[in-house]
């Protein structure tokens, strides 16, 4: 905590120094959304290069003066929390002065900028992320406050802990981990007792684009158990994007890639090639929108696709057909086809990429 306090004090000292010299204070940040500042490493995923381009938040420019002031305001809130050893969510910070901040996304962006600028993870800034992910299956652990969580003998889902770094005593006999894109599919597999039927496994869903805690938990489980991790996503550009976030990370959070990515993740399904192989009727597939085409074209250009020839081939199949499919499309074959036939066969015969 003394490191965090010192880093924040340095920012304010620079501001005061500029004012003493009758200069307009400026905050300098790494340009987080610029692909030119990102390098791809097989072992880490997308990470920020050491000497990246920066942007300035100026106090004397009408366009950035408000952001300058809000950044200092959030820094002062963080400083007080670290001093008093209290914590708050991003939502708490927004609701402390909704008129001042204007929207939640403004607060979210400022917090990420601060974390990147100070090179300090969000948790060390005493900011908790609200969790939306679920976990189930062969896993037990103790939360930071001593609460014991046992997912193993229960058909209930557990919310991903809000402090993943604080969990300890992780125990599991799982043979693999399955990341499921959507809540509905996750619940369906749970109802079919999938975690116990095939072989013991851990199931996780970020319920769409994963939040920070869900990504941290996937990484923590990988570090703890080193078991294979498979993804079950819709056969569409959005599903591929979500899978890439778990595996390679995102551009905006590339400065924290080392804690968040698991490059060994495998694509189990739903593969575009599966649709033809299983004779899925064209009537139940969904035509691409313009947005889908743009998203897919953008994914195909990314540096990590070049080193995944099998993935590249699947994306080409998707691009050529201009059709997408949700996992639920398998119910057109039979109501329990996913848990009874599709997943057991894939896992048994190595049908992943």
Predicted confidence (pLDDT) per residue in 108-167, tens digit:
888 988 888 888 877 788 888 778 899 999 999 998 888 888 888 767 788 888 888 888
Question: What pLDDT digit, counting tens, does each position of 164-191 carry?
Answer: 888 899 999 999 999 999 988 998 888 8
Percent of the chain with pLDDT over 70: 98
**159, 165, 167, 172: CA torsion to nearest 10:** 80
Top CATH class of 134-349 equals: alpha beta
Give the span between the Cα atoms of 207 and 211, in whole angstroms.
9
Q: What is the pLDDT of residue 269?
A: 82
Dig out the tokens for 324 from the structure.
């997408």
Q: How high does pLDDT run on average in the chain? A: 87
Question: What pLDDT digit, counting tens, does each position of 48-67 carry?
Answer: 777 777 888 888 888 888 88
Region 255-278 average pLDDT: 85
Give the span between the Cα atoms of 245 and 252, in whole angstroms.
11
Q: Coil, strand, or helix at residue 313?
A: helix
pTM: 0.79
Q: What is the pLDDT of residue 233?
A: 95
Q: What is the pLDDT of residue 170?
A: 92
Active site residue ranges? 95
DSSP state of 164: G
Question: What pLDDT digit, counting tens, does each position of 69-88 carry?
Answer: 999 999 999 999 999 988 88
Q: 282 pLDDT exceeds 80?
A: yes
Exposure letters 114-148 (e unless 16+ CB within 10 A, then b): bbbbbebbbbbbbbbbebbbbbbbbbebebeeeee
Q: 227 pLDDT exceeds 90?
A: yes
Helix axis angle for 212-225 and 237-248, nearest 10°, is 60
> Are the CB atoms for 12 and 78 separated by under 8 Å?
no
Q: What is the pLDDT of residue 255?
A: 67
Q: What is the pLDDT of residue 280?
A: 84
- Residue ranges, CATH 3.40.1360.10, the chain: 134-349
- Residue ranges, CATH 1.10.10.10, the chain: 2-128
Region 313-322 average pLDDT: 91
Q: What is the pLDDT of residue 117?
A: 85
Instruction: State yes or no: cis peptide before 270, omega within 30 of 0.
Output: yes
Q: What is the pLDDT of residue 267?
A: 93
Q: 35 pLDDT exceeds 80?
A: no
Region 220-228 average pLDDT: 92
Fold of 2-128: Arc Repressor Mutant, subunit A (1.10.10)
Q: 252 pLDDT exceeds 90?
A: no
DSSP H or E stretch at residue 214: helix 212-225
């Amino acid at each position: 905590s003394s490191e965090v306090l010192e880093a924040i004090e340095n920012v304010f000292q620079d501001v005061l120094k500029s004012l003493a010299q009758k200069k307009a204070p400026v905050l300098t940040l790494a340009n987080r959304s610029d692909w030119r500042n990102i390098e791809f490493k097989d072992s880490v995923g997308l990470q920020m290069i050491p000497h990246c381009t920066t942007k300035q938040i100026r106090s004397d420019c009408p366009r950035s003066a408000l952001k300058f002031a809000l950044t200092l305001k959030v820094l002062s809130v963080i400083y007080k929390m670290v001093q008093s050893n209290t914590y708050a969510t991003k939502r708490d910070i927004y609701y402390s002065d909704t008129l001042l901040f204007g929207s939640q996304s403004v607060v979210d962006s400022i917090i990420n900028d601060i974390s990147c600028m100070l090179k300090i993870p969000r948790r060390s800034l005493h900011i908790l992320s609200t969790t939306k992910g679920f976990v189930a299956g062969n896993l037990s652990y103790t939360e930071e406050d001593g609460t014991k969580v046992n997912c193993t003998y229960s058909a209930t889902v557990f919310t991903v802990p809000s402090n993943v770094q604080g969990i300890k005593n992780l125990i599991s006999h799982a043979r693999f981990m399955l990341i499921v894109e959507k809540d509905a599919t996750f619940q369906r597999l749970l109802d079919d007792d999938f975690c116990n039927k095939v072989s013991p496994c851990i199931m996780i869903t970020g319920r769409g684009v994963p939040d920070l805690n869900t990504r941290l938990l996937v990484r923590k489980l990988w570090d703890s158990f080193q078991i294979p991790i498979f993804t079950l996503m819709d056969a569409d550009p959005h599903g591929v994007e979500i899978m890439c976030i778990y595996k390679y990370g995102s551009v905006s959070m590339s400065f924290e890639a080392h804690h968040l990515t698991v490059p060994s993740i495998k694509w189990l399904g739903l593969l575009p090639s599966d649709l033809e192989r299983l004779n899925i009727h064209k009537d139940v597939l969904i035509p691409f929108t313009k947005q889908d085409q743009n998203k897919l074209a953008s994914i195909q250009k990314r540096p990590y696709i070049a080193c995944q020839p099998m993935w590249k081939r699947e994306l080409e199949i998707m691009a050529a057909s201009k059709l997408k499919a949700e996992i639920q499309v398998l119910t057109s074959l039979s109501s329990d086809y996913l848990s009874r036939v599709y997943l057991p066969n894939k896992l048994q015969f190595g049908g992943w990429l």
